[in-house]
Amino acid sequence: MIWIGGLTGFWIIALLTFHSANVGETQRNSLNEPDVPFPPARPAAQNLAAICHQGQGRPRYPASFFPGSGASHFRRRGKAINRLESWYTVCCSELAAEQSTQILCCAQQAWRQALSQFCVEEHSTMTLPYECCADGGEARWMCFNSELPNPDYNPTPGYTAPPVLPEPGFMFSPNAC
């Protein structure tokens, strides 16, 4: 009797493992949720060139990327990434004649502002907010800059970002550098 129960348990585990295996799906994870790698890394001297020169190779998340209902927390993540990439374009193109320290400062300001706005949106819902949004001050930024899916801002091979509208709301403050 115990042996039959053990065998049944084995088959259940085997079926669950097979069912959740990644068989090449790139847009959805094993739970059939949208794949939005989050959070974005803090801009640094080491990743600034990739931020500025490989932006069109990093994913964007238009509304059509998400299912018709549900996945609202993934939508907010995608919106934050779209916003950030838009603001990085401002930093990299409008400050191109400036020193790289100014571009880096601008990108860091954009990163903080985009993630701050993300946290405001997270707290405006009836769901549990993203874990880093519970922190304040430097602890928030350290949390957002840990366990990064793409710390070097590498492009996705063969991907070209679709056009997205520029996000309003970002103003670079050179005095804050």
Residue 24: the pLDDT is 29
Residue 58: the pLDDT is 96
Percent of the chain with pLDDT over 70: 80
Beta-bridge mates of residue 28: 34
pLDDT-wise least confident of 1-5, 41-45, 48-52, 123-127: 1-5
pLDDT tier, 97 (very low <50, low <70, confident <90, very high otherwise): low
pTM: 0.79
Count other Cβ atoms within 10 Å, centred on residue 121: 19
pLDDT-wise least confident of 9-18, 43-52, 69-78, 161-170: 9-18
Query: DSSP string spanning 88-120?
Result: HHHHHHHTTTS-HHHHHHHHHHHHHHHHHHHHH
Q: What single DSSP character describes residue 62?
A: -
Above 60 in pLDDT, residue 137? yes
- Integer-rounded Cα Rg, in Å, for the chain is 20
The larger pLDDT score, comparing residue 167 to residue 20, is at: 167
pLDDT tier, 86 (very low <50, low <70, confident <90, very high otherwise): very high
